[in-house]
Structure 1
Amino acid sequence: MKKNNEKNHLYCFFNGLGLHRHLTGARNWPRSSKKKAAATTSAIFLFSLFFLVLVSAGWIDASFFLAISSNKSLLALVPVKPEFPLTCTKGNATTCPRNYPTSLYNHTLNPSSPITSKNVTCPSYFRWIHEDLRPWKETGITKDMVERARRSAHFRLVIVDGKAYVEKYRQSLQTRDMFSIWGILQLMRYYPGRLPDLDLMFDCDDRPVVRAKDFRGPNARPLPVFRYCSDQWSLDIVFPDWSFWGWAECNIKPWEDVLADIREGNKRTKWKDRVPYAYWRGNPNVAPTRRDLLKCNVSPKNDWNTRLYIQSWEEEKKQGYKESNLQDQCTHRYKIYTEGWAWSVSEKYILACDSMTLYIRSRYHDFYIRGMEPLQHYWPIRENSKCTSLKFAVDWGNNHTDKAQAIGKASSKFIQEDMKMDYVYDYMFHILNEYAKLLKYKPTVPAGAVELCAETMACPANGTWRSFMEKSLVKSPSETIPCNLPPYDPQAVSQLVERKASSTRQVETWENDYRQNLNKKP
């Protein structure tokens, strides 16, 4: 009975291709008709061609032929990518399961097969990994340097033999530390067994703390501290922020969901049909530069071509976050980005819209903005004269709609393609991998650290926190290794910095000419 069932599976498969008569037994073949014989030959040729396409695409491997020779069902021949959801026990799991693969998907399925590569070079912003780690290139990183960095850290992360251990020192703002750790655990599920042993300190506050001027000279030993942003005067190591896995306190979903929502939001209104003003919504109370921005709002005396709105997250929470849906905020031709107390999480959401981003000059940078350029991905705005600079930018855009629209499209494309979650994980992998190479000691598990995994974090969670963890859970290992990290090229970095400065100067020149012409008018 079993063999008959397996033959039936084969028959159904080939019947779907219209080839069963030619492949299930010679007794049914026509013996006299030349036309039918020719049709048979053609059918076999087409099947062979189709089969070769499946093999070359990687959908069928050698196991297919082995299975046929052993008379197995075709339904069992097609490999199904295994998924590993949360395995919470009735009382919520407090231990880590050991059934998750320890290597990439293809290699797990067939250990003798070579590990495949994306065969692409990482996006341009990856080259800054070398710059961020350059202060330790000559000296390396000692255990003493790491432990002295504890003074500002919220937690210590240690990876040993493919397992993550965390020692917490102090509570972060909201649940930044929780979702940052969660993100690293997802990286380990995405690329199982590929991260080397490492030991690092992570600071979840906004502003950098490792000042370059405090560590000068040949004997300088800067403290290695990971955080979400840095500036040109600091040596903090930049890492993706917690909100890529969801910002529960603001009801902002994980990054993959947000990207999909904004893609749909971009389609709702054609660019030239959008409101021809610059839009900003946010909390002005976090920094003087934002309070200064509010002076540029439309008033009975002035119209600076802006439409600015104050965001109260407390009120939003009471109203069910009706006014903070990110996909509903791509309705103006222009969107304004301004930093807050430091860099702002809002940056990536603003740049994802295909409205032209008016980027107020910022002191702080996150990990990806250094790969974006003025006039290509955004329009630079002066920080010390925001109102006139914003007015000029909108006037220029409304007089050059095709060029303004192209800048918005390029920005959105960069965020949607070069900042998709696959690349976020690749960036995390490369910076942690390169960092681990600098360690001058073998990491060990601190006495106060506990092992963490997806189950120990998500199973006890509830509400929005649990929901976002489930949405951002990596359920299967990647099928490929990370993209290829660009080599260290200080000349290319210098050229990029100069090109960005040159584009900014060009805009400022246009703006100066614009102002002079306005002053000449009677």
Structure 2
Amino acid sequence: MFSTQANTGPSWENKTSRAFWRGRDSRRERLDLVVMSRRQPELVDAQLTNMFFFPKDEKKYGELARHVSFFEFFKYKYQLNIDGTVAAYRFPYLLSGDAVVFKQESDYYEHFYGDLEPYVHYWPIKHDLSDLLKTLRWAKQNDATMQEVARNGQRYARENLDPASILCYHVRLLQEYSSRLRSKPKFTKDFEKVEQPSEGNCKCQKYKKQVHEEL
């Protein structure tokens, strides 16, 4: 996270006004995105870096691209967050950079999603990506709006998704999980007790709220 924050690419006005994506073939929509990119390269730069799930077809999807760092991503104004086998893990890092994240509608989520507002912190796109090209054309004509969304997403990530905040969330999650166990763990004589800090050392009170009901 800190590395991404420190490497956000060129200034906004010097970034390329195209959507950028690299990744493996872990979902059909990712393949559709690559096909879309090959047809509309002036709007989308999307390539596969690995293929494990679907048959290789260079004629349809092109050759596999080399891996690039997140620092390369931020040469572009528009970032694409597309599900893989689960929620795409790169979302927090994309938010922390100086770019707008176009997030695919999804049933997957991470703990912080409930804090985010569409069109404020990120720009939503349909699950099947059917509105992506139209949205990108609109974005190019509304640059000031896109820059404001990029700034909002970046501000949220930097204030709430740093390592200390993520650790604090997991502390609260495990505390809540522990409190709901029907039977307590049984200790044996070879266990060694590790003293834990008091709850008062964790300052992120906002994670007390419940957004989902897994527990």
For Structure 1 versus Structure 2, the TM-score category normalised by the shorter chain is: 0.7 to 0.9
1:393 lines up with 2:135 in the alignment: yes
Distance 1:437 1:296 in 2: 49
Where is the helix percentage greater, Structure 1 or Structure 2? 1
AA aligned to 2:11 is K
Correspondence 1:485 to 2:183: no
Say whether residues 1:291 and 2:24 are aligned partners.
Answer: no
Matched, 1:281 2:22: yes
Please, which of 17, 27, 49 is the counterpart of residue 311 of structure 1?
A: 49
Question: What is the deviation of 1:486?
Answer: 4.2
Is the CA contact (8 Å cut-off) linking 2:82 and 2:104 kept in structure 1?
yes
1:482 aligned partner, one-letter code: C
Shift of 1:488: 6.8
Which 5+ residue runs of structure 2 have no aligned equivalent? 53-65
Shift of 1:295: 2.1
Tell me the residue number matched to 2:184: 442
How much has 1:484 moved relative to structure 2? Answer: 4.7
Q: Aligned pair in 2 of structure 1 residues 452, 289: CA closer, same or farther (>3 Å)?
A: farther
1:332 aligned residue: 76
Query: What is the Cα deviation at residue 363 of structure 1?
Result: 2.1
AA aligned to 1:307 is D
The separation in 2 between residues aligned to 1:416 and 1:422, in whole angstroms, is: 11
CA deviation after TM superposition for structure 1 residue 395, in Å: 2.0
Paired residue secondary structure (1:407): helix
Q: Does the 8 A contact of 1:356 with 1:404 survive in 2?
A: yes
**Equivalent residue number for residue 348 of structure 1:** 92
Q: What's 2:107 paired with?
A: 363
Mapped to 2, the partners of 1:383 and 1:304 lie a distance apart of 22
Change (3 A) 1:488 1:262: closer
Paired position in structure 2 for 1:260: 2
Q: Look up the equivalent residue of 1:308 and give its one-letter code.
A: A
Give the 5 Å matches for 1:60-459: 259-266=1-8, 268-284=9-25, 286-299=26-39, 302-303=40-41, 305-312=43-50, 323-384=67-128, 386-387=129-130, 389-445=131-187
Structure showing greater Rg: 1
Deviation at 1:327, TM superposition (A): 2.0
CA contact (8 A) 1:355 1:405 kept: yes
In structure 2, C-alpha distance between the alignment counterparts of 1:341 and 1:452, rounded to whole Å: 37
Q: Distance in 1 between matches of 2:138 and 2:188?
A: 58
- Shift of the 396–425 alpha-carbon distance from structure 1 to 2, 3 Å rule, reads same
Distance, in Å, in 1 between the alignment partners of 2:67 and 2:207 is 44
Alignment partners' CA distance in 1, 2:93 and 2:101: 11
Write the letter of the residue equivalent to 1:282: G
1: CA distance between counterparts of 2:188 and 2:135? 54
Distance in 2 of aligned mates of 1:440 and 1:298: 55
Alpha-carbon spacing, 1:487–1:329, altered in 2? closer, same or farther (3 Å): closer
* RMSD between aligned residues: 3.2
SS of the residue aligned with 2:3?
Answer: helix
Q: Secondary structure at the match of 2:101?
A: strand
Using the aligned pairs only, state the percent identity: 19
Cα pair distance change 1:411/1:306, threshold 3 Å = same
Tell me how many residue pairs correspond in the alignment: 196
Q: TM-score, normalised by structure 2?
A: 0.78
- Contact 1:278/1:336 (<8 A) preserved: yes
Question: In the alignment, residue 485 of structure 1 is paired with which amino acid?
Answer: Q
* 2:174 aligned partner, one-letter code: L
Tell me if the contact between 1:275 and 1:331 (Cα under 8 Å) persists in the aligned partners.
yes
Distance in 1, matches of 2:19 and 2:153, equals: 16
Structure 2 CA distance for partners of 1:425 and 1:296, relative to 1, 3 Å: same
1:396–1:484 CA distance, 2 compared to 1 (3 A): same
Match of 2:60 in 1: none
Q: In the alignment, is the contact (CA less than 8 A) between 1:304 and 1:390 conserved in 2?
A: no
Rounded to whole Å, the distance in 2 between the matches of 1:313 and 1:265 is 28
For normalisation by structure 1, the TM-score amounts to: 0.34
The 1:443–1:382 alpha-carbon spacing in structure 2 relative to 1, beyond 3 Å, is same
Between the aligned partners of 2:208 and 2:50, the Cα distance in structure 1 is 44
2:124 match: secondary structure: strand
User: Contact (CA 8 Å) 1:298, 1:305: kept in 2 or not?
Assistant: no
SS at match of 1:380: strand
How far did residue 437 of structure 1 move?
Answer: 1.7
Q: Using the TM superposition, give the Cα deviation of residue 289 of structure 1 relative to its aligned residue in structure 2, in angstroms.
A: 2.1
Q: Distance in 1 between matches of 2:95 and 2:208?
A: 27
Looking at structure 1, the residues matched to 176 and 112 of structure 2 have their Cα atoms a distance apart, in angstroms, of 17
Stretches of structure 1 that go unaligned for 5 or more consecutive residues are 1-258, 315-321, 454-476, 495-522
